[in-house]
Structures are given as C-alpha cells and as structure tokens.
C-alpha cells in the first residue's frame, strides 16, 4: 500500500487476533476473497476467523493479524510500532527456521515476500541512520587544497633550489569530491520505493516524490551490486549491497494488484522458539527412552520436552502452549498433553524428595512479564504432582526474541516457582 493511502485509513479496524471471532456482517465485502481461498481466514457460524498470524497486503489494502493472547493498542503511532515488531519477529523466524512447504509459500522465500519486506525494513532503518551512500573521487591538481601529496609533488614537480635546498612553489594536492556513482543512483531509487511501500509504518510523513529510476535493467543492476560487494570490506556496505539486491529481486513481481502475504499458520512453533530462547539450558539430564522390542530387536524413541533447565537442585520441565487463556479453565491442554508432561516427570523421579517442576507457558498480557495462572492435576493421584500454568507477556517475549536479549524472564519464573501463590 502506498504511504499516502495508508495514512488515510483507520489502521486499528484492519487488525485482528488469530482465532478470535469477529461479526461477519461487519466485514462482509471488506475482506478480499483471496484470503478465504488461501485459508488465511474463514467464515464460521456467521463469524470471521483468521487462522494465521502476520501481515498481508492485497489490492492496496493492509490486514494485520496478531498472535493469540495479544492486546492490540488503539493509539495509531503505538500500533504501527507493534506492527513493526510483529514483522521483525516473522523476519527473524523465517530466517532462523526450516519452514514447511505451506508455511514457506505464505512467508515467502528468496526473492519473494520475506526477503522483500526484510530488505525494505533494513534499508529504511539504514537510511534513517546513515542517509544515501556517497562515493568520493580523489582529484589531484596544483595548489587546489591544503592536503599535499608529497610523493606526487616530488615525482612530478621541478623544485627551485634555495640555500642548497629544494623549494616547491607548486604543490600537488588531493581533493575528495562526491560524484554521482551508479550505486548511489540505485540506492536512491530503492530507498524511495521502500518508503513508498512501508514509510508509513516508520512515521515517515515527508512524502515520496518518485524522482528516481533504476539506471539500468534489473540484471545489470544486480551485476553492479555484486561487483561492488566484492570490492568492499566494510560491514555496512556489504549489508547495504545485499539488501539492495534482495529488494530489487523481490520487487520484480510485486505490483499494487498482487497478493502479498507474510503470515504463518504455525505461530505455535514461533511461541516454542520464544520459550526455548528465554528459558532453555544446555546442562539438563537425559530422559529415559521408550522402546519397542520385537524378535529380540529393540527400537528406541525419544522423549522430547520443549524446554528443560536446572537451577540448584530444582529441575524444570517446560512446555510452550499456544492456547488462548481467556476461556480458562476451559479450552486448555487436554488429557494427551497432560499425560505426556506427567510422564516426563515420572521417568526422571529417582526419589520423592527430588524437586521436579512441570509447567506450561501460555501467551497473554501481564503486568510483570510472567504471572501464575493455575494448575492441572489428576484426582486421587497426588503422586503425579501438578502441572503449573504461567502466562508470559507475548509482546515482551516478542521484543526479547527480536533483540536477542533473554531479559530476566527465567529469574522471574523461578521466583514464582518458589512462592506459595503458585498453588503447591
């Protein structure tokens, strides 16, 4: 969507929460049919439901679906900040993960949606920090500046001898001047295109004039960028040339009539990545392996909890659960998930005094990053213990994941584990 068009709509009206239900008659005719065809949203009992999380642009309309447990801010500038965060999460996730074919088609691959958006975001931020790249040319002349090049002066200028010493009346000097490099022209064109598409998300309100064109056809431009990348050893320039190339490649098939999806139907996998990043530990015990034996041949399988970590004499077995807790205690993990978690603990118990904690982590909004929710247990089976549920603030988890900062989530969880309020 063009920036000037984006500034004229109520962005909040185009934002949704995954699996939340919205009155279908309110949005009838406003949601493009392509989103229903692709299974991104469905009509269910006269309700509109989105099955994916992410960012979509279709027929110059934008739609944003936030993950379960999210609270969408209504203030326009803050909402744009949250949308940028969501897109940053999906960029990082798509680059760090092996995607299923369906998910890959929705998030895009090389030269398509993910790389186009990731490159545009990088280029806009780089432009705000450093501006358009400049190339300097070194011009040499006689007495043109105070920057004397003595080697060229001695080699090319005849001195005057005074008191048996050479005196140079004319000096070869060096002057650095900016010149209209082809890469500069390419950079100007691409930045203008990026701002036209996504400048509104960064509160860029100066307008885009569409003053620049690519100096050559796409293939030659890509070749020039590759050649320039081979000549530089500067990280910023290397990243700049790569992102220019990715944007140009990705925008080749992009038009105002195209359907651009940057969504995932598997945000539960993203939620697992958040929890693994925030809570995982390398030094954990190995779980006993279940096995089959047939005709004296044994085939073993694995017990694979999402996360385990140990602090002092306390072992924590954590499972990331991407559930909506607003219906709690209903619609929370059922018998299959509970049995698996109980069995993890049972197979690790060597002594009744062992401190082994079973916990589920759910997405939601909290004041303290992480809060106690409740517990699951089995009637008349106290030996199985309890599975304690906690709500992790999903917006904070997204910020930590994108910034590669673990924060103090684990410390706050441990503090809650030791508190009597957790339901022991």
Mean pLDDT over 115-123 rounds to 88
Q: What is the DSSP string of 57-101?
A: EETTEEEEEEPTT-----SHHHHHHHHHHHHHHHHHHHHHS---H
Window from 14-23, 25-34, 135-144, 324-333 with minimum mean pLDDT: 135-144
Which of the two residues, 135 and 402, has the higher pLDDT score?
A: 402
* pTM of the predicted model over 0.85: no
Q: Which helix (H) or strand (E) holds 235?
A: helix 235-250
3-state secondary structure (DSSP) of residue 399: helix
pLDDT of 423 > 50? The answer is no
Q: Which residue has the higher pLDDT, 401 or 418?
A: 401
Residue 110 has pLDDT above 70, yes or no: no
Instruction: Report the DSSP beta bridge partners of residue 319.
Output: 360
According to the per-residue pLDDT averaged within each range, which of 245-254, 300-309, 413-422 is highest?
Answer: 300-309
Taking the C-alpha atoms of residue 194 and residue 119, their distance in angstroms, rounded to an integer, is 9
407 vs 208, higher pLDDT: 407
Q: Give me the phi and psi of 98, to 5 degrees please.
A: -90, 115
Position with higher pLDDT, 143 vs 109: 143
Cα–Cα distance between 318 and 279 in angstroms, integer?
9
Q: Three-state DSSP class for 267?
A: helix
In this prediction, residues 144-164 reach a mean pLDDT of: 75
Least confident of 81-90, 275-284, 288-297: 275-284
115 pLDDT higher than 90: no
Predicted local distance difference test score (pLDDT) of residue 109: 40
Cα dihedral value 252, 90, 262, 26, nearest 10: -150
The per-residue pLDDT for 53 is 95
Once rounded to an integer, what is the mean pLDDT over residues 264-284?
Answer: 89
Rounded to the nearest integer, the mean pLDDT of the chain is 84
What integer pLDDT is reported at residue 175 of this predicted model? 65
- Residue 97 vs residue 395, higher pLDDT: 395
pLDDT of 243 > 60? The answer is: yes
Task: List the beta bridge partners of residue 297.
Answer: 294
Confidence of residue 56 (pLDDT cuts 50, 70, 90): confident
Q: What is the mean pLDDT of residues 25-43?
A: 90
For residues 149 and 169, give the distance between their C-alpha atoms in angstroms, rounded to a whole number: 14
């Amino acid at each position: 969507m063009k920036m000037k068009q984006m500034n004229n709509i109520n962005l909040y009206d185009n934002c949704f929460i995954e699996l939340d239900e919205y009155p279908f008659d309110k949005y009838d005719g406003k949601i493009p049919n392509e989103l229903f065809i692709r299974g991104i949203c469905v009509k269910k009992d006269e309700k509109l439901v989105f099955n994916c999380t992410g960012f979509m642009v279709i027929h110059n309309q934008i739609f944003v679906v936030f993950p379960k447990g999210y609270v969408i801010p209504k203030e326009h500038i803050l909402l744009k900040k949250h949308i940028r965060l969501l897109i940053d999460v999906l960029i990082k996730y798509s680059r760090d993960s092996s995607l299923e074919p369906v998910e890959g088609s929705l998030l895009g691959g090389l030269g398509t949606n993910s790389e186009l958006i990731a490159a545009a975001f990088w280029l806009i931020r780089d432009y705000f920090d450093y501006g358009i790249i400049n190339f300097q040319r070194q011009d040499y002349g006689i007495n043109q500046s105070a920057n004397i090049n003595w080697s060229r002066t001695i080699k090319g200028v005849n001195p005057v001898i005074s008191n048996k010493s050479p005196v140079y009346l004319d000096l070869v000097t060096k002057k650095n001047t900016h010149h209209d490099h082809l890469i500069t022209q390419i950079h100007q064109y691409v930045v203008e295109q990026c701002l036209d598409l996504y400048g509104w998300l960064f509160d860029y309100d100066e307008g885009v004039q569409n003053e620049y064109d690519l100096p050559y056809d796409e293939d030659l431009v890509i070749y020039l960028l590759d050649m320039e990348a081979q000549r530089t050893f500067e990280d910023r320039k290397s990243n700049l040339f790569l992102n220019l190339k990715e944007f140009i490649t990705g925008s080749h098939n992009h038009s105002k009539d195209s359907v651009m999806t940057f969504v995932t139907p598997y945000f539960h996998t993203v939620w697992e990545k958040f929890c693994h990043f925030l809570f995982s530990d390398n030094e954990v015990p190995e779980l006993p392996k279940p096995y089959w034996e047939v005709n004296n041949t044994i085939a073993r399988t694995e017990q694979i909890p999402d996360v385990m970590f140990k602090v002092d004499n306390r072992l924590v077995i954590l499972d990331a659960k991407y559930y909506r807790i607003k219906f709690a205690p209903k619609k929370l993990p059922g018998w299959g998930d509970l049995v698996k978690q109980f069995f993890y603990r049972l197979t690790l118990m060597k002594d009744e005094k062992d401190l082994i904690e079973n916990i589920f982590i759910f997405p939601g909004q909290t004041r303290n990053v992480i809060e106690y929710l409740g517990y699951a247990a089995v009637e008349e089976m106290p030996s199985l213990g309890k599975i304690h549920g906690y709500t992790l603030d999903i917006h904070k988890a997204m910020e930590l994941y994108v910034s590669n900062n673990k924060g103090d989530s684990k410390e706050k969880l441990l503090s809650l584990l030791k508190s009597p309020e957790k339901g022991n």
